[in-house]
Structure 1
Amino acid sequence: MTKQEKIDSFDPNGPASGNRIFGLPFSQKDAEIVILPVPWEVTVSYDAGTALGPEAILEASKQVDLYDPFVKDAWKMGIYMAKLDPKVIEKNRKYRDKAVAYLSAVEVGHEDETTDELLAKINKSCKKMVNWVQERTTELMNEGKRVILLGGDHSTPLGYLEALAKEHEFGILQIDAHADLRNAYEGFTYSHASIMFNALKIDNVKKLVQVGIRDYCEEEVEVIEASEGRVKTYFDRDLKHQQYAGATWKQQVDDIISQLPQKVYVSFDIDGLDPKLCPHTGTPVAGGFESEEVMYLFERLSESGKTIIGMDLNEVAPGPHDEWDANVGARLLYRMANLFGKNAGVVG
């Protein structure tokens, strides 16, 4: 069946069927947007569960209505989620257990040659994950696909950034509660708390614009201040205080977008939202955005004349008794995909 035949025979108003993302009928071959799931959370430092995010979002996506008033007939461009890789799932389980053992030993002061060896093995496994992501995203981009990486914890996009940097100079728009600028947090070179520190090692990442940051340490402030403008941080407190004094979100959004270069990668840690929307995320922090505030920023970016070259959504962790976090994540993922497609001119 051709893509057009799939579109003609599909009812976007009917209930979802099958086990494909959003109930859509497309394959990887005929989809414009491919979602790459990376169920990895080896280095999480608070609550676990984000490795279950991709599967939970896939299930919750069947409840998402496909009409998007901002992007006409968005679903027709084709969105496909690649299958979860059982090898990644197994390696995550194995090395997450090792990371827990390592952290437990460190907490009680039992560091020795054994813990050093254990840390080295964990860092090696995480490096392999980074390489795997780089290889998979490169393959997909070579097929002409626009890729959205779906974590997992926030360490997962580094390989994607490295893949993009082979072809582009770009900036990163980061929505997050945390600055993620720590150097090898807890000894983990590829910690979720070090993703942007590691991203800044990539020469072709020309600018990092952080939005909503509200939990950070002195070390990270020093990185920001020493960056000579390469890192621009919009702290949650400052944004809100400006609004209390009369600034509008539109004015702030326009300023945020003006800080970005022509090509932009969007990195969305869901804990950038108010934790009532993501209560089970790994490291929730009071404050943050409503979902529509973030989507307004993404919509303005998509219409700004700048080019979106990649996206990720991370740190969605399903709750033990409900799918609320996955429900929110699935809806955000759909709208992000639609905006990616609209910005690229393949829909809307």
Structure 2
Amino acid sequence: MSNSTIFGTWCSYEDSNIIIIPVPWDVTASYGSGASLGPQHIIHASSQLDFFDLTYGVPLDSGIHILEIPQQIMQRNNFLRQCAKKIQEKYEDDIPLSPEDIESLHTINQACCNVHNWVEKQAERILFDDKIPVLLGGDHSTPFGLIRTWSNREDFGILHIDAHADLRDSYQGFHSSHASIMHNVMNLPTPPQKLVQVGIRDLCIEEYDISKSHPSIHTYFDPHLKDRMFKGETWERLCKEICEQLPEKVYISFDIDGLSPLFCPGTGTPVPGGLSFDQARFLIKTLAQSDRTIIGFDVSEVAPSPQGEWDGNVGARVLYQLIGGMLYSQK
């Protein structure tokens, strides 16, 4: 299995309840790269946390195992990232793609699908072993295989925390990028019952139209949430309203750029605004304490920055809050 540590300790696969799948992939990063280093960055920073939580006790005691970071995926990522950058530069400069570029585009799209298939295979094995798979990206394309695994097993909704709607059919020619994951999820043969998005503040008009017209999508745009708070509504009331939109079983997809850039300066596509760490923590807590079960989650788009380990520190704390909330909801 793995000898990797998380939160400064090691627990065997056999003795663990939660298995973390690290996915070092950010080939189609469209602005800043570095999310492929997110798993290692979080692992390194996670050892300095105190593991008692005032709400959840000591989630670490449940047994948490992280798989080895797959070096073959990391190596493939580093090679294809350079190919993707050439394509992206031509898109930005409105230069037609050459036959070689088109071949590279197909190769990258297929490589993204291969990563999804690998994640799905890991998740299926973990579920077969009666354990809970969670995912640590990588960019926000990486959880697709895990969400697809759940879609083949359960009726559930998604709580999607993000600065971006991720509802594009494709972006810069890439069909499986971070910008398209929720489009792809909602077009699965058995899609989630509900997609509830929180913190969205950077999107195109087509995504806005989809979010307003799709019967299974409910989007809480960040400026609208802030306007309601400025007019006197409490975050507690808003969190309860958000949770009321979700079905009995919930999967959380947490893109770190859903937080204010103060908490994730290294993330690839930072956007002003967003949630504070405490607002995100309280939302997770509210969901965990509602009559709903958190079945799984992912954390994506954490990347190193010049601020040292700050991004990894926050990412590790988000990961720990999600673990705590999930376990609490399953009691």
Q: Any conservation in 1 of the 2:116–2:144 contact (CA below 8 Å)?
A: yes
- Single out whichever of 273-282 and 109-118 deviates more from structure 2: 109-118
Contact 1:105 1:115 (8 Å CA) reproduced: no
Partner of 1:251: 237
CA contact (8 A) 2:294 2:325 kept: no
Please name the residue that 1:270 is paired with. Answer: 256
Matching residue within 59, 64, 84 for 1:79: 64
Kept after mapping to 2: 8 A contact 1:95/1:122: yes
The answer (yes or no) to whether the contact 1:57–1:326 under 8 Å persists in 2 is: yes
Judge conservation of contact 2:91–2:172 (CA < 8 Å) in 1.
Answer: no
**Which residue of the partner structure matches residue 168 of structure 2?**
182
Counterpart in 1 of 2:13?
A: 28
Name the structure 1 match of 2:322: 336
State the 1:111 CA deviation: 1.5
Contact 1:168 1:204 in 2 (8 A): no
2:49 aligned partner: 64
Distance apart, 1:127 and its partner CA: 0.7
2:130 is paired with a residue whose SS is coil
Residue number among 136, 157, 172 corresponding to 2:143 in the alignment? 157
Contact 2:158 2:251 in 1 (8 A): yes
Runs of 4+ in structure 1 deviating by more than 4 angstroms, as ranges, are none
Counterpart for residue 169 of structure 1: 155
Distance 1:301 1:119 in 2: 40
Q: Determine the structure 1 residue equivalent to 2:30.
A: 45
User: 1:304-343 to 2 correspondence within 5 Å?
Assistant: 304-320=290-306, 322-343=308-329
1:53/1:151 contact within 8 Å kept: yes
Uncovered stretches (5+) of structure 1, i.e. residues with no partner: 1-17
Asked if the contact 1:39–1:52 (Cα under 8 Å) also holds between the matched residues in 2, the reply is yes
Task: Say if 1:38 and 1:51, in contact at 8 Å, map to a contact too.
Answer: yes
* Separation (CA, whole Å) in 1 of partners of 2:199 and 2:231: 18
Which residue is equivalent to 1:217?
204
SS in 2 for 1:27: coil
What is the rounded CA distance, in whole Å, between the counterparts of 2:167 and 2:316 in structure 1?
Answer: 27
Shift of 1:76: 1.2
- Quick check: 123-132 or 74-83, which moved more? 74-83
- CA–CA distance in structure 1, aligned partners of residues 106 and 200 of structure 2: 30
Shift of 1:323: 1.0
Query: Contact 1:171 / 1:260 at 8 angstroms: preserved in 2?
Result: yes
- Residue 237 (structure 1) aligns with: 223
Q: Percent identity?
A: 43
Deviation at 1:28, TM superposition (A): 1.3
Counterparts of 2:296 and 2:102 in 1: how far apart (Å)?
36
Q: Greater shift after overlay, 139-148 or 122-131?
A: 139-148
1:98 to 80, 83, 93: 83
Q: Distance in 1 between matches of 2:19 and 2:49?
A: 18
The alignment status of 1:107 with 2:92, answered yes or no, reads yes
Aligned-pair CA distance for 1:320: 4.1
Q: CA deviation at 1:141?
A: 1.2
Gaps of at least 5 residues in structure 2 are none
In the alignment, is residue 120 of structure 1 matched against residue 102 of structure 2? no
The answer to whether the 8 Å contact 2:288/2:326 transfers is: yes
Letter of the aligned partner of 1:213 in structure 2? I
- 3-state DSSP of counterpart to 1:233: strand
1:137 maps to what in 2?
123
For 2:199, the aligned partner's letter is G
How many equivalent residue pairs?
A: 327
* Counterpart Cα distance in 2 of 1:117 and 1:244: 51
Counterpart Cα distance in 2 of 1:331 and 1:72: 14
Cα-Cα RMSD: 1.3
Question: What is the one-letter code of the residue matched to 2:30?
Answer: S
Tell me the amino acid that sits aligned with residue 148 of structure 1. V
* Distance 1:123-1:19 versus aligned 2 partners, 3 A rule: closer
Provide the residue aligned with 1:14 in structure 2. none
Q: Cα distance, 1:114 vs. partner? A: 2.1
The 3-state SS of whatever aligns with 1:312 is strand
Give distance in 2, aligned partners of 1:181 and 1:70: 34
Q: Distance in 1 between matches of 2:213 and 2:199?
A: 20
Q: What TM-score do the two structures reach when normalised by structure 1? A: 0.91
Distance 1:165 1:319 in 2: 35
For the residues of structure 1 that align with 2:51 and 2:19, how far apart are their CA atoms? 17
The answer on whether the counterparts of 2:164 and 2:202 sit within 8 Å (CA) in structure 1 is yes
CA contact (8 A) 1:33 1:341 kept: no
- Say if 1:53 and 1:315, in contact at 8 Å, map to a contact too: yes
| AA matched with 1:299 | K
SS in 2 for 1:334: helix
